Amino acid sequence: MNISAVLLVGGESRRMGQDKATLIFRDKPLWQIHLDLLWKLEPEEIFVSARTDPAWRPAGVQFVSDEPPSRGPLSGLSATLPRIRTDHLLALAVDMPLMSENYLRSLCNLIDLGCGVLPMIGDRAEPLAAIYPKGAGIDFIAALSGSDFSLQSLTKKLVETGKLNLVNVLEEEGKFFRNFNDFSDFDGP
């Protein structure tokens, strides 16, 4: 696949009180679950976006520092998009360990030249498991220099300008987007 991929691990994990990326789920740390998943997609390159270079980052995975002051995933995506060598960037947040390879492949099959894919659950965008066109980098940088750091607002503009196509998430696919934000989330299936 002619895409790049980024694992977003820059969150402060306030609710968890520790780095989510290193938490264990099904006998593996979350970062490893996601990097294994991304490698299966065979992207041209893989990045890890974080505030600081994580000690666990494997060789062959490039580090991208969130541009300070950090504005969450907006910072990570703004810093990563200009660095990609491909036309599209698959973004995946570290706290969605139920995401599937088949689902991500289905998203990749929906990209068009200059246009990415944004999953929607009802009327809410899922921008942390989406594919962005390289050309959206200018929009991310503009949002970062503004006062609205919401990915919901930015992705709405990207849809309106034809840089993102919407894909409705089917009910049975909704589980892939479940965020793990509390230790009790690790007790479930």
Q: What's the pLDDT at 133?
A: 97
The pTM score is: 0.91
Q: What's the pLDDT at 35?
A: 97
Q: Which of 111, 113, 114, 146 is nearest to 130 (CA)?
A: 111
Q: Find the helix or strand (DSSP H, E) in which 33 lies.
A: helix 30-40
Query: What average pLDDT values come out for the chain (189 residues) when binned by 10 residues?
Result: 89 58 88 96 96 92 82 90 97 94 96 96 95 96 88 96 96 88 56
85: buried, middle or exposed (CB in 10 Å: 19+, 13-18, 0-12)? exposed
SS3 34: helix
CATH number at residue 183: 3.90.550.10
Q: How many domains does the chain have?
A: 1
Whole domain around residue 79: which residue ranges? 4-187
Q: What's the pLDDT at 98?
A: 93
Residue written as tokens 């030249």? 113
